[in-house]
Amino acid sequence: MSETPPRLHLRATGDLACFSRPEFAVERTSYPWITPSAARALFEAVLWKPRIRWEVREIRVLKPIRFTSFRRNEVGGVVPERWKESDPPRLTDDDRQQRTTTALTKVDYVIAADLRLNAAVSRDGADDNHAKYRDMFLRRLEKGQVFHRPYLGCREFAADVGPASGAEAACPISMDHGTMLYDFLFPVDYGDKGEHRVWRPKQKPRPLYFDAKLVDGVVQVPPRAEVLTALPERLRPQEELS
């Protein structure tokens, strides 16, 4: 019998946040609260390993939802996936564009996520279990240790993360937002190369969506397996559903 994944909590605050909605292609416009994919990235900033997978299940909005708009410079092009020495240098001054950003201001969230073991990756020693990674995450969160600076949607909008109990009082607001980005489906191959695991993307990520409702400041996020069942069977990663 498999272990029950532990549910862990994290609190994230920041002065600015922008979780871009895909229907606004040119001008950045944020969702009214953090998306599960951005919330997952906060957990991964504290602890990430090929063996574990974070599944966000609840988002608590602790402060009123407020927007602000401003203009900023952005680069219009993108860097090629495979950079070659023969490629010409990319100068930002030649490809600079000024765009409007509608972002959230003074955000405060408590996020709950289940810590799951990735069945596609082999066990890492005899003590490979949920408790091992749970304790690692809690220690790192308490000490403020991160692999990279957490951010809220855009890298320039830094986030402060810390411990949370999950019982913090949410802001008493309710909203039926409708379709919201859930996460991206990253089919990957965790092959072995000697003693080191190799992360190889199989194909481009596929966006997943869910019906988002804010009830008394709390968003209940469906399990990942439930969201995946909406995909055609040939596109579902069976190792995640096991």
Indicate whether 70 belongs to any domain.
yes
Residues 60, 110 contacting (CB under 8 angstroms): yes
Query: Structural domain of residue 143, as residue ranges?
Result: 7-77+93-241
| 83 is a domain residue | no
Q: Average pLDDT, whole number, for the chain?
A: 85
**Total domains in the fold of the chain:** 1
Domain contains 82: no
Q: Which comes out higher in pLDDT, residue 207 or 34?
A: 34
The answer as to whether 67 is a domain residue is yes
Q: Is the pLDDT of residue 241 over 50?
A: no
- The pLDDT value recorded for residue 196 is 47
Place of tokens 């063996």: 51
Q: Is residue 162 part of a domain?
A: yes
- Confidence check: pLDDT of 174 > 70: yes
Write the pLDDT tens digit of every residue in 32-55: 999 999 999 999 999 998 888 999
The pTM of the full predicted model, rounded to 2 decimals, is 0.84
Q: Please report whether residue 53 resides in a domain.
A: yes
Residue 69: give its domain's CATH number. 3.30.70.2660
Residue 1 in domain: no
The answer to whether position 86 is within a domain reads: no
